[in-house]
Structure 1
């Protein structure tokens, strides 16, 4: 019995150690993908390749990393190198890689090879619509070749997919009523197919019907369970609908996925600010900034979070960083001014509000706040002028200060 207990304990210890190793490996892999993806989305293609070349991709045996490496070579116009990574992804049973291989061959002016792989892609499920493929810039070079012309003489799309294409065309023309009609009929006949729900959701977003848009995206994600795009669209629609708790649960689902797009952390932060989860919001925005250190809006949001926690010095640092990165947004200067007001740095508050008003002079509340700061500096003439501007824009809150200081 003692011997069996000892063996059981050893086995449990091995499982715990192995589980920890797997968890750490997944975290490293996860961080690697997010870091590489963020570099790619910031057009830092050499950084992506440097990062991935330092990693043993063969050990990861993961098509997504090869696609990212291939995409980076592709953006650098290094099509032969891109092909190597796309081929590896394709061998790992990634069907979309066939389309990328076709694009490379088109750029290399090898229309026959391009069409060969395009045919493979066109036989796969969940492919792009015909109009989307024909509009891809990569195929401009071969569109007059016989193999390209003959390719489209064959039928690769069923009636459902053709109707989807027609709906998208109607949307591009601005004929939303016809598009809705097509999509509604498709959904009635094909309740378990996801794409019509997504396009309908996109159309509902265009018409600002966030309630039905969120339902459409949610339905699409229920049918196609591992599609992150649908989940992102659903979460964003719930955020716009001000259903913040519902959005929160979906954002948390998204970031649990190994291949989540790190850009989603910005919207996740905004949602957490709305439900006053400042600890979670700080975590989300700090993670976002580790991937996108030059993003002005992220520093602005970080400042808002610090401000909500009365961490005014930290808030000022972030607001000033956001202005350094982008000095075209009045709200950055306004928030900066508000923090200066809280710290009783009135001259700096006046300067910040002035900058905001230079960008948009129709901000009644900012004229009022500037007037308040000027009163603190005993600049009554300037204060009265600004308070009266606020009043002229129907900002009635200015009345009391005007009565007190401007008679």
Structure 2
């Protein structure tokens, strides 16, 4: 939410400036529509506010302030397609408007249109967007690079963001994620630890650090972090995946199975969960369910392939069926 808060503050600041400049030069009818739209906006009547702003645009189609107001509403509604439409209109009117590129980039990012997000964040940075927004412009671009798996550029951008703002825990959390992706597990622990120092109530950070510890085979610290994550949020599905993984390593397969099934009950749309369930199938010599769960994991989407480096897959590592499945993940 940190980006949205910053964005909305920026939007209203820009709009206020615009209205100040046009207050004495626009027709009374235009001002009446804006005033009424702002009243609806203040009371949360967004559809009515949008209708008033559209009427104002009919009179003054080139005033960017009204498009910013519409964008602010669509941001509140998570309607990113309409943010894109309105910021595109601003850019058509003023192609050197870094905040419009920034808002549009953020919306592309939420829509997972990573290439367009990278382009627009770059435009906002190159246009010298104000220092207030620059760290999140770099972090937003870093997140987009992460989305296309360009981990080195993602690292560079997050490092720039941190150099400008070392109090935002999400920057450190995402650095931890990138290091997990490139198998820098020790570095991942360091960045997650910094994120936790900034936000000690983040169950996600504790759970992510637990995963890094698992990959380092440090099951004692992993277990401590999972239990802390559970203490903070018992409904966080991913912690039960890590909990199950740890229990496999500690030899309690029954408890591991209970834990992973709880993870799936809370969130059945995470492919990684089915990899852990498949591992339990394999330990129990249930080969057909093992492959069924691997296929399910692939169909849903797998976040990390490092699970398959674990020796618990040695039983089938050289089998034709497993190798056929494994190769599909890369080609």
Given the two structures, how large is their TM-score scaled by the length of structure 1? 0.57
Q: Does 2:124 align with 1:251?
A: no
Task: Report the equivalent of 1:313.
Answer: 186
Distance 2:65 2:107 in 1: 17
- Residues 237-296 of structure 1, C-alpha deviation per residue, up to 9 Å, x if partnerless? 111122211111110011112343323222222222112221221111111111112322
C-alpha spacing 1:238/1:128, structure 2 compared with 1 (3 Å): farther
> 1:189 & 1:165 partners in 2: Cα distance?
14
User: Aligned-residue CA RMSD in angstroms?
Assistant: 3.1
Structure 2: runs of 5 or more not aligned = 1-5, 7-12, 285-331
Residue in structure 1 matching 2:106, options 208, 223, 236: 236
Aligned partners of 2:98 and 2:128 also within 8 Å: no
The equivalent position to 2:231 in structure 1, one of 358, 369, 375, is: 358
Give CA deviations for 1:350-394 in whole Å, capped at 9, x if unaligned: 221111111111233422321221221234575455346446657
1:127 matched to 2:24? The reply is no
Match of 1:266 in 2: 139
Q: CA offsets, 1:189-228, max 9 Å, x none?
A: 3322222222122222223221121110121132133332
> Distance in 2 between the 1:390 and 1:402 partners?
16
Distance 1:358 1:258, change over 3 A: same
Counterpart of 2:250 (choices 373, 377, 381) is 377
Structure 2 residue 54 is matched with structure 1 residue 184: yes
Asked whether the 8 Å contact 2:207–2:238 carries over to 1, the reply is no
Question: Does the aligned pair in 1 maintain the 2:99–2:129 contact within 8 Å?
Answer: no
Contact 1:331 1:356 in 2 (8 A): yes
SS in 2 for 1:208: coil
2:98/2:125 contact within 8 Å kept = no
- Picking from 323, 329, 349, the partner of 2:222 is 349
2:48 is paired with a residue of what secondary structure? helix
Which protein is bigger by CA-based radius of gyration? 1
Residue 195 (structure 2) pairs with residue 322 (structure 1): yes
> Structure 1 186/352 Cα, relative in aligned 2: closer, same or farther at 3 Å?
same
Q: Aligned partners of 2:21 and 2:202: how far apart in 1?
A: 37
Select 1:278's aligned residue among 151, 154, 159: 151
Specify the alignment match of 1:66 in structure 2. Answer: none
1:226 equivalent to 2:119? Answer no
- Equivalent pairs counted in the alignment come to 263
Residue 172 (structure 2) aligns with: 299
How far did residue 165 of structure 1 move? Answer: 2.7
Query: Closer, same or farther in 2 for the Cα pair 1:250/1:161, shift >3 Å?
Result: farther
CA–CA distance in 1 between the matches of 2:264 and 2:222?
A: 20
The residue that corresponds to 1:289 in the other structure is 162
Deviations 1:149-204 (A, max 9, x none): xxxxxx67643344223212111112222222212222233322222222122222
Q: Check the 8 A contact 2:18/2:65 in 1, yes or no.
A: no
What do residues 47-82 of structure 1 show as CA deviations (whole Å, max 9, x unaligned)?
xxxxxxxxxxxxxxxxxxxxxxxxxxxxxxxxxxxx
SS in 2 for 1:263: helix
Alignment check: 8 A CA contact 2:207 2:242 kept: no
- Superposition pairs for residues 119-198 of structure 1, below 5 Å? 127=20, 158-159=27-28, 160-198=30-68
On the 8 A contact 1:319/1:332 being kept in 2, the answer is yes
Gap regions ≥5 residues in structure 1: 1-40, 42-95, 97-121, 131-154
Shift of residue 334 of structure 1?
1.7
Query: Which is further off, 161-170 or 249-258?
Result: 161-170
Q: Is the 8 A contact 2:206 2:229 kept in 1?
A: yes
| 2:233 aligned with 1:340 | no
Normalising by structure 2, report the TM-score: 0.69
SS of corresponding position for 1:213: helix
The 2-side partners of 1:231 and 1:193 are apart by 17
Matched residue, 2:84: 214
**Residues in 1 aligned to 2:67 and 2:139: alpha-carbon distance in whole angstroms:** 25
What is the distance in 2 between the residues matched to 1:259 and 1:181? 31
